[in-house]
Chains A and B, each alone.
Chain A
Amino acid sequence: MTAMGDAVLEVADLRVEFRTDEGRAQAVRGVNYQLHRGEVLGIVGESGSGKSVASMAVMGLLPGSARVFGSVRFGGRSGGTELLGASDSEFSRVRGQGISMIFQDPMSSLNPVYTVGYQIAEAIRAHHDVSRAAARKQAMELLEAVSIPNPTERVDNYPHELSGGMRQRVVIAIAMANRPEVIIADEPTTALDVTVQAQILEALRTAKVQTGAAMLLITHDLGVIAGQADRVLVMYAGRVVEAGTVEEIFYTPRMPYTLGLLGSQPRLDERRTRLHPISGVPPSVIDLPSGCPFAPRCPLAAPVCEAEEPPLAATGSNGHLSACHFSDQLAGLEPGDLFRPLSRDTAS
């Protein structure tokens, strides 16, 4: 065992930049985390927070125009491998076999001109020397595992013959095919209806149990995070602004942004009350304010916040991290104590 302990994936000081006509866009600005064996690590954030770009960088799937810095170590069965800057052939060994990925839109992950059975078998045969017939048999078993009805018939269907929910289950079957150690699921249920979302979350749980993989679950949906994740990272403007166990994040948040997110969320289990929105909008990653990027929207902002970007530091119990100068003052506060229930905020 290497120095990574039980971490299967270790991301250190990950930074991603894009050159655009307007200037340098800092999409990810120093993200650190470890994904431990068997756990589900949720990454939550709004559009533009860098949550998807950070996971694409881990998989080496960013376009050539992206500049990626830092370190991504995959601690698979074969020992630690540095993924950043790895060659295509090194990456091919890891992708699918060590780490697999599930994207938001199943139609763009599947090839429209091959049957789903062929595509699952292809994933198996890419890493294992098995016969076509054996791979096909495995494909049927995988379809059954993700609860696709009549797998013996469905195996010969083309993606367009399946509904959106079934396509996403096929993608999950492909992700499970080689018993990876890490599954990265990027907004896996976002385009789906809630009753189908419930089916997909069930299939993801099956995938995790059957393969024993650790999972990185990226979503904007706080409800999905609450139900699935063991630990949570909250991202804002390209950085992790709070990290902790799922209970710490939901019950004792120590970063005003997390409190704001929780206060903005209409809830099914509560009678109608006033929501507590966060005023303003997230900053542009091209033109970040100096200091804390949340300061312009933060009700606690003080001069120190504009002068100095707070580091992600320990707060409260051990392992709970927050990037806020005033995280200690947030103990026991409710969203309504901090954010006013405005409707006419001129900046949003």
Chain B
Amino acid sequence: MTVLQPVLSVRNLVKHFPVRGRGLLRRRVSDVHAVCDVSFDLYPHETLGLVGESGCGKTTTARVLLNLQPATAGHIRYQGTELTSLPRKAMQRLRRELQIVFQDPYAALDPRLPANEIIAEPLRIHGLYSPSASDSIASDSCGRDKVRELLALVGLKPEHGNRFPHEFSGGQRQRIGIARALALRPKVLILDEPVSALDVSVQAGVLNLLADLQAQLGLSYLFVSHDLSVVRHVADRIAVMYLGRIVETGTSDELFSAPAHPYTQALISAIPLPDPRKERARERIILTGDVPNPANPPSGCRFRTRCPLFTAQLTDPQRHRCTTEIPPLTDHGHGHPAACHYADLPSLSAVRALREREGR
């Protein structure tokens, strides 16, 4: 048996955005540390969920992967090819295999092109489109039939191809965005909040579609989202980001059954369940404060300013470690890695339960 090779391998990825002064020279006064030392692998046919709240760097990570924004440092390897140093021309060729679906289906489609043309555009850019060509095996180029097939693939009526984006609903528009991303038969699809703009009843159809397409076409998904319930539903493995760093990764089941990082624990406990009895019986960890400014992140562990463990449970020498030492992403006996010096301490809810029992 051979060891499964990742299709996409990211190592120590860093992305800084300069913050410039107001003066004439607009000197660089500091950097926003959007993505810091991020590493992960994406394997064939799997869905990796990248979750976190606004400003955690998940979307920047997605864009840097496709070279839509250059990386400040680090390595991105796609099937052995290093993408960060790739010349423009070569990158353009590789984009056939790495495609992205954007969050806002209203902004991502050209309002002046009919759906047919929107879907044909990537084919045209890569010189694969001739309207008259039939989809024969002999020719590499494809034509209208291919576009009709793509429309049908994403669950739209091929005869609606002449309609313009404004004539479609939000869910249908997102399907057009997916059809366009699939036109070049990519291997990896980066989905940047693909269902966040949609109502639940429509969102469910798009999520089912993505699952079917993955099974049918053998795609690998990097699914970027702030919605943990959606990620729980789609992802095989999950990486949780906080302020530019991955704080915990694991399989979906590991992460939800035994979250090790206090941030992951708080995030999971904050998500309301659509079930009144369970929702009201739950114990909630409510974080104080807000996400710090990424231009000036806290030293050591970036979560310490909001960490309930840090404020309520740790001793001063332990806290000193949090403020001075960046916690590495290592396994603390949970079976999956977490970036917390004290992830092996009993979890907050366990401590609270113990206190309650002693109190009685």
Residues of A within 8 A of B (CB): 46-47, 147, 149, 163, 165-166, 193-199, 201-202, 220-227, 246-247, 250-251, 260-269, 271-272, 274-279, 281, 341-346, 348
Report the minimum CB–CB distance from A202 to chain B (whole Å). 6
Identify A275's interface contact among B54, B204, B274, B291, CB under 8 A. B204
B328 within 8 A of A: no
A222 to B284, CA, bound (A): 18
Who on chain B is nearest to A201 by CB?
B272
B28 within 8 A of A: no
Who on chain B is nearest to A297 by CB?
B201
Residues of B within 8 A of A (CB): 53-54, 154-157, 169, 171-172, 199-205, 207-209, 211-212, 226-230, 232-234, 252-253, 256, 266-280, 284, 286-291
A342 to B212, CA, bound (A): 10
Report the minimum CB–CB distance from B284 to chain A (whole Å). 6
A251 to B205, CA, bound (A): 23
A261 to B203, CA, bound (A): 11
Report the minimum CB–CB distance from B131 to chain A (whole Å). 24
Q: Is the CB of B280 within 8 A of A227?
A: yes
If the complex has contacts A165-B290, A345-B155, are A266 and B230 also in contact, measured as CB distance less than 8 A?
Answer: yes
A247 to B274, CA, bound (A): 11
Question: Which among B269, B288, B289 has the highest number of chain A CB atoms within 10 Å?
Answer: B289
Q: Is the CB of B208 within 8 A of A271?
A: no
Q: Is the CB of A276 within 8 A of B276?
A: no
Note all chain A residues with C-beta closer than 8 A to B204.
263-266, 275-278
Q: Is the CB of B271 within 8 A of A194?
A: yes
Report the minimum CB–CB distance from B175 to chain A (whole Å). 8
If the complex has contacts A220-B200, A264-B204, A346-B157, are A227 and B252 also in contact, measured as CB distance less than 8 A?
Answer: no
Report the minimum CB–CB distance from A160 to chain B (whole Å). 14
Report the minimum CB–CB distance from A143 to chain B (whole Å). 15
Identify A261's interface contact among B200, B233, B256, B272, CB under 8 A. B200
Q: Is the CB of B272 within 8 A of A224?
A: yes
Report the minimum CB–CB distance from B47 to chain A (whole Å). 10
Identify B266's interface contact among A195, A246, A269, CB under 8 A. A195
Closest 7 pairs between A and B when the two form their complex, measured CB to CB: A223-B272, A344-B155, A343-B208, A277-B204, A264-B204, A266-B233, A193-B53
Note all chain A residues with C-beta closer than 8 A to B200.
46, 220, 222, 261, 264-265
Note all chain A residues with C-beta closer than 8 A to B273.
223, 226-227, 267-269
Report the minimum CB–CB distance from A247 to chain B (whole Å). 6
Provide 28 A-B residue pairs closer than 8 Å at the C-beta atoms, listed in order of the A residue.
A193-B54, A194-B271, A195-B53, A197-B270, A198-B286, A199-B286, A221-B272, A223-B279, A226-B273, A227-B272, A227-B279, A247-B276, A261-B200, A264-B204, A267-B233, A267-B275, A268-B256, A271-B253, A272-B252, A277-B201, A278-B201, A281-B169, A281-B171, A342-B205, A343-B205, A344-B154, A348-B155, A348-B205
Report the minimum CB–CB distance from A325 to chain B (whole Å). 21
A261 to B274, CA, bound (A): 10
Who on chain A is nearest to B156 by CB?
A346
Report the minimum CB–CB distance from A41 to chain B (whole Å). 14
If the complex has contacts A149-B289, A163-B290, are A272 and B276 also in contact, measured as CB distance less than 8 A?
Answer: no
Q: Is the CB of B202 within 8 A of A272?
A: no
Who on chain A is nearest to B263 by CB?
A195
If the complex has contacts A223-B274, A269-B275, are A46 and B199 also in contact, measured as CB distance less than 8 A?
Answer: yes
Report the minimum CB–CB distance from B249 to chain A (whole Å). 18
Besides A198-B284, A272-B252, A348-B169, 17 more A-B contacts (Cβ < 8 Å) are: A149-B288, A165-B290, A193-B54, A195-B53, A198-B287, A199-B288, A226-B276, A247-B277, A250-B275, A260-B201, A261-B200, A267-B232, A343-B205, A344-B209, A346-B157, A348-B155, A348-B202
Report the minimum CB–CB distance from B102 to chain A (whole Å). 19
Identify B274's interface contact among A195, A262, A342, CB under 8 A. A262
Q: Is the CB of B171 within 8 A of A348?
A: yes
Note all chain A residues with C-beta closer than 8 A to B208.
274-275, 277, 341-343
If the complex has contacts A266-B229, A266-B232, A266-B233, are A250 and B276 also in contact, measured as CB distance less than 8 A?
Answer: yes
Who on chain A is nearest to B286 by CB?
A198
Note all chain B residues with C-beta closer than 8 A to A345.
155, 205
Report the minimum CB–CB distance from B37 to chain A (whole Å). 23
